[in-house]
Structure 1
Amino acid sequence: MRDYDTSVAFLGQWGRFQLMVFFMLCSTIPPNGMSSFSLVFVTDTPRHRCLVPEVNLSQDWREAVIPMEEVNGELERSQCRRYRLDVVRNLSDMGLVPGRDVNLSSLEQEDCMDGWSYSSEHYQSTVVSEFDLVCSESWKQPFTATVFFLGVLVGSFFSGVLSDRFGRKPVLFATLAVQAVFSLALIASPSWEMLCVLFFFIGLGSISNYISCFVLGTEILTGNARVVYASMGVCVAWALGYMMLPLIAYFLRSWKDLTVAITVPALLYIPFWWVLPESPMWLLSQGRVAEAETIMRRAAKMNRVEAPEKIFADYLIYANTPEAKSAQRYTFIDLLRRRSILATTVILCFVWFTMSICYYGLSLNTSRLHSDPYISCFLSAVVEVPAYSSTCLAVRFLPRRMAVALVFLVVALSLFFIQLVPQSVLEVAVALEMLGKFAATAGTSLLYVFTAELYPTGLRNTASGTCTMVSRTGSCIAPFLLHLNVYFKYLSYVTFGSLAMVSAFVMLFLPESFRRPLPENIQQMHKRQSVTCPCITRRKTSNCVTVLESQL
């Protein structure tokens, strides 16, 4: 039986049909980049202090009512405490001067009984200032981001199941609608609890339409168009949305206005329903050969080429053959049956987990990195474009194991060195964090390739999906790890760097896949992984079927 790419080769690779599919699908990606990282601005914590109501206080006491605290070796006004207001009022009425007539350290302190006053230097409002997620409620700020990533985790699992059941196109547009509707409902949320529920569904819709879009494009396009779309198209489109976010947020300082601005463009995708086709490969897997041929004939007409009389006729014939019925099926259990494969899976899950923590931790930390959060976020987005470009070069010329280990080392060293940078040269600290973000972005792309090359054909999607699911738990934890800087300024950097250093070491215990044939079954994978110590030379197996890496 001819494979799909051979059957549709008459279309060519970069005709009008392929260009239409490429750019229309890529145009749906930027809102995902904006939505995922809008948390940087929407949930940021502005500078704040206890609100002092309009009472009869002298100017000296109004300035001194907020006590000084030592934060990371520097004295700052407290954000969560004030001197007892009734005592201060009495001292002010008596005409006493703070510091001269009254020892402030002897005064009793209290919590912010009247709420907080928030700085408007960068934001008119955020979720934090809207619902007072500070001081004793500060744990709710990272938890809000965690709920979003929990939605991403759940969406990563269910999007594949739904798209396999109902098709790529319906799931793409349904989840685009879910993301848009719940994002607009966000601005009317009456409570923080309801806000979290809405964020969960926004995360679910965001990742689901991204995955559906990615799969739809890779199944429709062929050859070089497929490679460019999968390796650069969706990644650069994501980075483009990420870069647009701080520009929009700079002019819209209210979190509600920003949410509306990044959601409304979803309405532009409604007409795409009548233009974008369903995946012919999915239709063939469902036995709907006539519909798949109809799509291909329309594509041939658009590309101005002649379609053969029967395009997919042999698919129905093959489906009823003993060969097709006896094809070996793999399940998740096959990842656990052999010790060598289990060890590989556990190591890959750990490095995926670490890479996700580093990537999202560095991405969400941009508002704290520089005095201007908009500049920091834009720089964090810009470094993703050269990171994806360098990944394409690394995939062609570098061994996988060495490339990913090197990426982890760059992440670890850049984060460790940040602690040594004096406060007076903040630009160096920013450059080091951007270097870590560059490496984490490139490493994420490399892990997709490396993971797919290690597993046999029937187990490749299951293994990649398992590793991706585990990595999502890392993105859920990342907001809380960033919160560690409350206890020590560089504690989150030390945590990220330590995990990256351990991951660089354990990478050495994975088999190499660079310029080696892709395994076709469990037996071939087991033979390749029978020796996992990197210092022992591996023996080449002669019974492996040669598969070009470019076909992946």
Structure 2
Amino acid sequence: MARRRLGGVWAQFCPVKRSRQLLQVEATPHGLRCFSWGLVCGRQGLKPVGQAVFMAGNLLGALAWGLLSFWFGRNSMLSWCCLQVALANTSAIFAPNFLVYCGLRFLNAFGLAGIILTSTTLMVEWTTTRRRAVTMTILGCTYCTGQMVLGGLAFALRDWRALHLATSTPFFAIFLISLWLPESARWLIITGKPERALQELKKVARINGHKEAKKALTIEVLMSSMEEEVASAKARQSLLDLFRVPVLRWRSCCLLVVNFSHMISYYGLVFDLQNLGRDIFLLQVLFGAVDFLGRAASNVLLRFFGRRVVLASAQALGGLSILANVLVPPDWQGLRVAFAVLGKGCLGVCLTCFSVYKSELFPTSLRMTADGFLQSAGRLGAVVGPLIMTARQALPLLPPLTYGVILIVSSFVLPFLPETRGLPLPDTIQDLENQRSAAAGGTWREAVITESTWF
């Protein structure tokens, strides 16, 4: 047995029997990274460290950006996060050692969490009730498209530095575009900036071709339509409010369990790609394609069956798919990939539905705070998921059983949450209290602030 430098993988191997595999592995996008920094077999423990650092950045970023976006605005934080990701990802190319590289990856993950949070909230708050599901579905499909493109880029650009540069460049362009995007009018009004909110609404009305709305929108109309919301927002609110108010406490705890289970199973499947087949690039593209189909179908499912039914059913089916893989012999790679792909598709439906549902369960003043808290819980699951995989050697059945069972069990908490299909976004806690009676009576209507942003 001999020890050699191995790109992206540390192993002890026989040089005669595995020489071909060596040449193949050294051609992966991670090969030059390990060769440059001397990551030999004795330092193979650094591989999960790099993954854990990235996930830790996601976890802390989700919590931090939820609070920062409420203090400084959604769009300004989106612009900053795009610039941070672009600079951190590009700088990683020139990292002199593994420690600096991990630090830059942490900053990259920290910014990515903010992009996900702020972009989702902006789209939700600028979209009417009728178009909200399709808007979030489109957003989810773009994520899956990125997964497929990443697989193709990794196959074409075998040098990891070239891959970093290719994935960093779009963020510079997105940063410039984000400077033109309008700030959330809901956030501007509840933070005492009605004049700027009026400017943003007229800007959106002009883009959408609603000339009559530009004339009808005045400060008096805005303040009268959002009078309760402004009064409610004057009270100082924090993360603790999610647990002080009974209706928010129950929703927060339920969604925390649901999102935690999603991320444990999702990242457990993603990081287990190499055990499903030899061509990891093809599997990455295949997972992205199935995820795309699942998310694209979410809009139709949400329209006809509502949020709770779709989310609970997708979780249960995804969990059963993962458990079914336990019964498949290792030699039946085709069937194993089929069950894994089905589970990944169900998780795609879960994530799209969850992004719509969680935004409809919290008031505007606490929406980003709740979103950041839930995302942090999810990122904690993303850290735990791959760690469970390390028990595979001692307990081979533990990882798939954990991923499958936790999805199925968490689906049973969803029937205790209210259905929000067809209801406008709540702006105050009182709106949450009135949702059930309003849904039964069918008396809710969109306020002028959301009607003017008709998609």
The TM tier, using the shorter chain, reads: 0.7 to 0.9
Q: Is the 8 A contact 1:517 1:547 kept in 2?
A: no
Matching residue within 298, 302, 312 for 1:395: 302
Offset at residue 411 of structure 1 (A): 2.2
Separation (CA, whole Å) in 1 of partners of 2:55 and 2:369: 21
Offset at residue 361 of structure 1 (A): 1.9
**Pair 248,456 (structure 1): closer, same or farther in 2 beyond 3 Å:** closer
Q: What residue is the counterpart of 2:408 in the other structure?
A: 501
Q: What residue is the counterpart of 2:57 in the other structure?
A: 151
Q: Secondary structure at the match of 1:256?
A: helix
Offset at residue 197 of structure 1 (A): 0.9
Q: What residue is the counterpart of 2:149 in the other structure?
A: 244
Offset at residue 271 of structure 1 (A): 4.5
**Pair 549,121 (structure 1): closer, same or farther in 2 beyond 3 Å:** farther
Matching residue within 234, 259, 275 for 1:352: 259
Q: Secondary structure at the match of 1:190?
A: coil
Unaligned runs of 5+ in 2: 1-5, 451-455
The CA deviation string for residues 194-214 of structure 1, in whole angstroms up to 9 with x for no partner, is: 221111100111121233233
**Pair 523,546 (structure 1): closer, same or farther in 2 beyond 3 Å:** same
The CA deviation string for residues 12-47 of structure 1, in whole angstroms up to 9 with x for no partner, is: xxxxxxxxxxxxxxxxxxxxxxxxxxxxxxx98447
Unaligned runs of 5+ in 1: 1-42, 52-61, 65-75, 80-115, 529-539
Of 219-228 and 461-470, the range deviating more from structure 2: 219-228
Read off the aligned partner of 2:94 and give its amino acid letter: A
Matches within 5 A, 1:260-275: 260-269=165-174, 271-272=176-177, 275=180
Q: Is the 8 A contact 1:458 1:521 kept in 2?
A: yes
The CA deviation string for residues 479-511 of structure 1, in whole angstroms up to 9 with x for no partner, is: 222333343555422221232233234445x24
**Pair 294,245 (structure 1): closer, same or farther in 2 beyond 3 Å:** same
Residue 257 (str. 1) matches residue 220 (str. 2): no
Separation (CA, whole Å) in 2 of partners of 1:414 and 1:399: 23
Q: Is the 8 A contact 1:133 1:139 kept in 2?
A: no
Q: What residue is the counterpart of 2:93 in the other structure?
A: 187
Residue 426 (str. 1) matches residue 333 (str. 2): yes
Offset at residue 354 of structure 1 (A): 0.8
**Pair 547,442 (structure 1): closer, same or farther in 2 beyond 3 Å:** farther
Q: What residue is the counterpart of 2:3 in the other structure?
A: none
Offset at residue 386 of structure 1 (A): 1.5
Separation (CA, whole Å) in 2 of partners of 1:278 and 1:541: 32
**Pair 409,282 (structure 1): closer, same or farther in 2 beyond 3 Å:** closer
**Pair 378,290 (structure 1): closer, same or farther in 2 beyond 3 Å:** same
Residue 366 (str. 1) matches residue 282 (str. 2): no
Residue 211 (str. 1) matches residue 117 (str. 2): yes
The CA deviation string for residues 123-174 of structure 1, in whole angstroms up to 9 with x for no partner, is: 5716455545565533322221221122122222222333333333332222
Q: What residue is the counterpart of 1:139 in the other structure?
A: 45
Read off the aligned partner of 2:231 and give its amino acid letter: K
Matching residue within 456, 460, 468 for 2:375: 468
Matching residue within 1, 7, 12 for 1:49: 12
Matches within 5 A, 1:444-463: 444-454=351-361, 462-463=369-370
Larger radius of gyration: 1
The CA deviation string for residues 385-412 of structure 1, in whole angstroms up to 9 with x for no partner, is: 1211232233223354443333232222
Separation (CA, whole Å) in 2 of partners of 1:220 and 1:239: 23
Separation (CA, whole Å) in 2 of partners of 1:261 and 1:474: 29
Q: Answer 1 or 2: higher relative contact order, Cα 8 Å, separation at least 6.
A: 2
**Pair 440,314 (structure 1): closer, same or farther in 2 beyond 3 Å:** same
Q: What residue is the counterpart of 1:73 in the other structure?
A: none
Read off the aligned partner of 1:469 and give its amino acid letter: S
Q: Secondary structure at the match of 2:327?
A: coil
**Pair 431,221 (structure 1): closer, same or farther in 2 beyond 3 Å:** same
Matching residue within 360, 365, 379 for 2:286: 379
Separation (CA, whole Å) in 1 of partners of 2:158 and 2:438: 63
Q: Is the 8 A contact 1:168 1:215 kept in 2?
A: yes
**Pair 296,193 (structure 1): closer, same or farther in 2 beyond 3 Å:** same
Offset at residue 287 of structure 1 (A): 4.3
Matching residue within 101, 123, 139 for 1:234: 139
Number of residue pairs matched?
A: 439
Separation (CA, whole Å) in 1 of partners of 2:25 and 2:315: 38
**Pair 549,154 (structure 1): closer, same or farther in 2 beyond 3 Å:** farther
Instruction: Calculate the aligned-residue CA RMSD, in Å.
Output: 4.1
Q: What residue is the counterpart of 1:409 in the other structure?
A: 316
Q: What residue is the counterpart of 1:164 in the other structure?
A: 70
Separation (CA, whole Å) in 2 of partners of 1:400 and 1:271: 35
Q: Is the 8 A contact 1:289 1:312 kept in 2?
A: no
**Pair 340,286 (structure 1): closer, same or farther in 2 beyond 3 Å:** closer
Separation (CA, whole Å) in 1 of partners of 2:23 and 2:437: 69
TM-score (norm 1): 0.67
Offset at residue 118 of structure 1 (A): 8.3
Of 292-301 and 151-160, the range deviating more from structure 2: 292-301
Matching residue within 406, 419, 440 for 1:513: 419
Offset at residue 320 of structure 1 (A): 11
Separation (CA, whole Å) in 2 of partners of 1:341 and 1:324: 19
Q: Is the 8 A contact 2:318 2:407 kept in 1?
A: yes
TM-score (norm 2): 0.80
Q: Is the 8 A contact 1:48 1:118 kept in 2?
A: no
Q: What residue is the counterpart of 1:313 in the other structure?
A: 219
Q: What residue is the counterpart of 1:8 in the other structure?
A: none
Q: Is the 8 A contact 2:187 2:365 kept in 1?
A: no
Q: In percent, how many aligned pairs have the same letter?
A: 24
| Greater helix fraction, Structure 1 or Structure 2 | 2
